[in-house]
């Protein structure tokens, strides 16, 4: 996946579901790549909407869409007959197909045949590239930031994207590096880390984020948590492969226990910071924390800001809800600690 | 793999190689399961030998062999034409085939056909079971010991097998749980952890070592090292899935740098013990170290014993070369810390 870009603009598939959670991936793309979305495809009148223009596949192709994104979750992640029928119609209309479902496009002969006949591409976003290498931990040039978390699903992707937007707004060269299916569809490329073979976790991230020489930053989407007994192996390999100069710690302040595991408590922020720095130091001895990102969507604006201020003061770090308040205080800290070499280059040019 | 046992006795395949490293897996089986090996198969006169009776496939079947073990490493782990031809002949002679090669038996139609026709089984030891679950970290009954290491290839499998032998000799119920290809062929079952999808590392170990209620021990073969930047993710998930009551730290005292990575130093034993306890405590809060296992094969008997004594004293732990000196001092420590409930049961019976 890492080496092939999914072409934009996208047509976002919503289908016929009435479950808001089922269109989570399409919604994420609409939030962070709205300029690259020409429209949405729905199957009926009273379906969910993302507020984009409604289009048929032919209309979307005419409007410049290159790829139909199946950003929906069916039961069990299967490619249903309805999804296959719609994908076939989209291929005939001249669109590529990208899918984050478990069921693979390339395992449906009719889709493979229609794609070949129309000269179109099929992207199974959950398929890692076949030729991954084992990580080597060699120090590589360029700046890297990794989001880490007290738990799974605490806003690591959103935080990383908000940091990318804020850095770009200040003239940084900065690139989001995706490690999950929604992130990959937002970025157009990436590594589906949860589907990589265990021996290649760190190697996959070294490949995702190669040395860079432009003074810019790779902003790597974190996965899992060192404190989640199901997924800490993935988080460990990700820390080692990312070789981060900086980490941002993501946290959901109202989470009652580790996701899916009522018998496991959420670790404290202090413990999370210490453990992530300790693990990261193996491949990046000078790594530092540059911020804390809270998801405050469950509280009032005032409560959210007060909580961020209190937690930031407690840990001596900028603390924000990056989606609600922007990530600027974190970028300020990055400026202080690392300078903005992109801007320096520009000023001296 | 975990649920299907490979049938013994074995016929060990050595083929036509003259490279001692290439028959490492067959040699490991001959060392630890000699009573289950009826013989060896070699292709020429001046080939390597493990000192077992030389047999044709038909002779081996007649002598009671159930499985031909392809315990050899070809270049790139491929199934060569020679290997396939020999495997076909063995199937016709009535043997199952087990292979630790990367190239899969089940991908060779002629082998699949011959196995079906003869009612025989093909075991691809590097194929994880298809229906692994995500780990849940729930506290489970039974005692578990895990070997961990300062690095890869420092004797974790050998140490685990020596501990199994020493515990059994004292009347413990104790079972080696294999996580690598040679270990799986020695045990007859296990999980090839390096081939498991990243999200399922800890879940695969929970499945490999389910709750036990007989007062006995599962002795789980470690993999990698928390300090190896390529494989620490696997080691982390293994620690969490194993939920060990006890760990034994394996170390090669003459290793100059991390295996394959000249730019990484081997960590100290003290650091290795501390880091492994810290990670293990997430799922097993009361975990303790019960011994250190050194590979002293590069030194004299006297030097080896002196080094073990010095290192043991330094860390307050029994320290042995379990292959050279036996694992008894480690079992003594297990007795002290956990008691021998199997023996207690027997005494009271």
CATH of the domain at B239: 3.40.50.300
Q: Give domain status of residue B3, yes or no.
A: no
- Determine the pLDDT at residue A32: 93
A243 within a domain of the structure (yes/no): yes
Contacts of A235 in chain B (CB under 8 A): 233, 236
Final residue in a domain of this structure, among A70, A89, A124: A124
Residue A131 within a domain: no
| Tens of pLDDT, residues B25-46 | 999 999 999 999 999 999 887 7
Alpha-carbon distance B280 to nearest alpha carbon in chain A (angstroms): 10
| Alpha-carbon torsion angle A90, A94, A100, A103, nearest 10 | 60
Give the model's pLDDT for residue A221: 98
- One domain, residues B276 and B304: yes
List the single residue in B134, B232, B260 with the smallest CB-CB distance to A236.
B232
The per-residue pLDDT for B340 is 74
Question: What pLDDT does B342 receive?
Answer: 56
Digits of tens for pLDDT over chain A (349 positions)? 445 689 999 999 999 888 888 898 999 999 999 999 999 999 887 788 999 999 999 999 999 999 999 999 877 778 999 999 999 999 999 999 999 888 899 999 999 999 999 999 999 998 887 788 999 999 999 999 999 999 999 999 999 999 999 999 999 999 999 999 999 999 999 999 988 999 999 999 999 999 999 999 999 999 999 999 999 999 999 999 999 999 999 999 999 999 999 999 999 999 999 999 999 999 999 999 999 999 999 999 999 999 999 999 999 999 999 999 999 999 999 999 998 765 544 433 3
Q: Which of A137, A193, A227 lies closest to B229 in CB terms?
A: A137
Which domain, by its residues, includes B60? Answer: 10-124
pLDDT at A306 (0 to 100): 98
Task: Tell whether A34 and A150 lie within a shared domain.
Answer: no
- Closest chain B residue by Cα to residue A263: B138
In a domain, B321, yes or no: yes
Q: Which residues of B touch A282 (CB under 8 A)?
A: 227, 229, 232
Q: Checking DSSP bridges between strand B174-177 and strand B96-99, what pairing results, if any?
A: unpaired
Among the partner residues A202, A260, A278, nearest to B233 by beta-carbon distance: A202
Of the partner residues A233, A264, A279, the one whose CB lies closest to the CB of residue B137: A264
**B264/A137 Cβ within 8 A:** yes
Residues 6+ apart with CB under 8 A from B122: B96, B97, B99, B105, B106, B111, B112, B115
Q: Are residues B231 and B188 in the same domain?
A: yes
Best mutation target, A131, A192, A197, A236, to test chain B (most B CBs within 10 A)? A236
The DSSP H or E segment spanning A82 is helix A81-92
φ and ψ of B227, to 5 deg: -105, 10
Contacts of B233 in chain A (CB under 8 A): 198, 201-202, 233-238, 240
Across the interface, do B137 and A282 touch by the CB < 8 Å criterion?
no
How far is it, in rounded angstroms, from Cα A55 to Cα A262? 43
Our CA-based measurement puts residue B98 at a distance from the nearest CA of chain A, in whole angstroms, of 22
Contact state of B195 with A197 under an 8 Å Cβ cutoff: yes
**Structural element, H or E, at residue A158:** helix A156-169
Same domain for A217 and A149: yes
Q: What pLDDT shows up at residue B3?
A: 53
Interfacial residues of A (vs B; Cβ cutoff 8 Å): 134-139, 193-199, 201-203, 226-227, 229-238, 240-241, 260-261, 263-264, 275, 278-279, 282-283
Residue A221 sits in the same domain as residue A316: yes
Q: Name the residue in chain A with its Cα closest to that of B274.
A: A278
Nearest by CB to residue B198, choosing from A196, A260, A261, is: A196
Banded model confidence at residue B107, pLDDT cuts 50, 70, 90: very high
Q: What's the pLDDT at B6?
A: 93
Q: By CA distance, what is B205's nearest residue in A?
A: A230
- Tell if the CB–CB gap between B233 and A236 is shorter than 8 Å: yes
Please tell me the distance from the alpha carbon of residue B206 to that of residue B220, in angstroms, as a whole number. Answer: 11
Mutate to test the interface with B, among A228, A231, A279 (most CBs of B within 10 A): A231
CATH number for B62: 3.40.50.720
Domain stop point among A73, A90, A124: A124
Identify which has the larger pLDDT, B190 or A74.
Answer: B190
Q: Which residue of B has its CA nearest to A127?
A: B197
For residue A349, the model assigns a pLDDT of 33
* Mean pLDDT value of segment B299-327: 97
* Distances from the Cα of B233 to the Cα of A22, A175, B208, B209, B225, angstroms: 31, 25, 18, 19, 9
Per-residue pLDDT at B4 exceeds 80? no
- A197 and B202 within 8 Å at the Cβ level: the answer is no
Q: Are residues A309 and A179 in the same domain?
A: yes
Residue A58 included in any domain: yes
CB pairs under 8 A between A and B: 127
Question: Is B50 within 8 Å of B22 (Cβ atoms)?
Answer: no
For residues B111 and B184, membership in a common domain is answered with no
Indicate whether B313 pLDDT > 90. yes
**ipTM above threshold 0.85:** yes
Yes or no, beta carbons of B198 and A203 under 8 Å apart: no
Residue B14 has pLDDT above 90, yes or no: yes
- Contact assignment for B135 to A230 by CB distance below 8 Å: yes
pLDDT value of residue A86 = 97
- For residues B138 and B165, the answer to whether their CB atoms sit within 8 Å is no
Mutation site, A137, A179, A192, A230, interface B, largest B CB count within 10 A = A230
B130 inside domain: no
Residues of A in contact with B278 (CB under 8 A): 275
Q: How far apart are CA A190 and CA A3, in angstroms?
A: 8
Residue B64 burial (CB < 10 Å; 0-12/13-18/19+)? exposed
Contacts of A203 in chain B (CB under 8 A): 230
User: What is d(CA B333, CA B171) in angstroms, rounded to the nearest whole number?
Assistant: 16
Most A CBs within 10 Å, among B233, B243, B284, to test the A interface: B233
Query: Cα(A19)–Cα(B162) distance, rounded to whole angstroms?
Result: 56
B113 and B155 both lie in a single domain: no
Clarify whether residues B202 and B320 are in a common domain.
Answer: yes
Residue B233 has its nearest CB partner, among A195, A237, A261, at A237
* Distance between B238 CA and the closest CA of chain A, angstroms: 8
SS3 (DSSP) at A180: coil
Say whether A198 and B195 touch across the interface (CB within 8 A). yes
B333 CB contacts (<8 Å, ≥6 apart)?
A: B290, B291, B317, B318
The SS3 assignment for A178 reads coil
Chain B residues with CB under 8 Å of a chain A CB are 134-139, 193-199, 201-203, 226-227, 229-238, 240-241, 260-261, 263-264, 275, 278-279, 282-283
**Domain count for chain A:** 2
User: Does residue A249 fall inside a structural domain?
Assistant: yes
Last residue of a domain, one of A124, A152, A180: A124
Chain B residues with CB inside 8 Å of A229's CB? 135-137, 202, 240-241, 282-283
Q: Tell me the C-alpha distance between A47 and B74, whole Å.
A: 57
Same domain, A190 and A89: no
Residue B267 lies in a domain: yes
CA distances from B138 to A268, A275, B194, B283 (A): 21, 22, 23, 8
Minimum Cα–Cα distance from A231: chain B residue: B199
A47 and A79 share a domain?
Answer: yes
Instruction: Please tell me whether residues A76 and A44 are part of one structural domain.
Output: yes
């Amino acid at each position: 996946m890492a080496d092939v870009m999914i072409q934009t603009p996208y047509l976002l598939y919503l289908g016929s579901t009435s479950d808001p959670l089922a269109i989570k991936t399409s919604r994420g793309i609409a939030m962070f790549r709205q300029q690259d979305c020409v429209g949405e495809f729905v199957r009926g009148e009273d379906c969910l909407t993302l507020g984009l223009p409604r289009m048929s596949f032919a209309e979307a192709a005419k409007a410049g869409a290159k790829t139909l994104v199946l950003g929906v979750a069916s039961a069990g992640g299967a490619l249903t007959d309805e999804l296959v029928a719609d994908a076939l119609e989209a291929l005939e209309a001249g669109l590529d197909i990208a899918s984050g479902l478990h069921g693979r496009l390339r395992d449906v002969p009719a889709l493979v045949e229609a794609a070949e006949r129309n000269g179109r591409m099929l992207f199974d976003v959950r398929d890692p590239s076949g030729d991954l290498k084992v990580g080597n931990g060699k120090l590589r040039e360029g700046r890297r930031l990794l989001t880490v978390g007290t738990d799974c699903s605490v806003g690591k992707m959103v935080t990383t994207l908000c940091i990318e937007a804020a850095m770009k707004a200040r003239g940084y060269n900065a690139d989001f590096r995706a490690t999950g299916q929604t992130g990959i569809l937002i970025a157009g490329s990436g590594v589906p880390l949860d589907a990589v073979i265990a021996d290649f976790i760190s190697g996959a991230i070294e490949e995702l984020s190669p040395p860079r020489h432009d003074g810019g930053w790779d902003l790597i989407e974190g996965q899992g948590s060192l404190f989640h007994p199901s997924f800490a192996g993935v988080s460990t390999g990700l820390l080692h492969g990312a070789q981060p100069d900086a980490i941002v710690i993501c946290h959901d302040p109202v989470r009652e226990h580790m996701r899916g595991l009522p018998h496991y408590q959420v670790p404290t922020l202090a413990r999370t910071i210490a453990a992530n720095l300790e693990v990261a130091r193996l491949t990046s001895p000078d790594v530092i924390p540059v911020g804390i990102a809270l998801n405050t969507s469950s509280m009032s604006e005032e409560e959210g800001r007060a909580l961020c201020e209190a937690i930031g003061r407690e840990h001596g770090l900028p603390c924000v809800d990056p989606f609600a308040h922007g990530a600027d205080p974190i970028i300020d800290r990055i400026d202080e600690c690392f300078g903005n070499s992109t801007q320096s280059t520009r000023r001296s040019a």
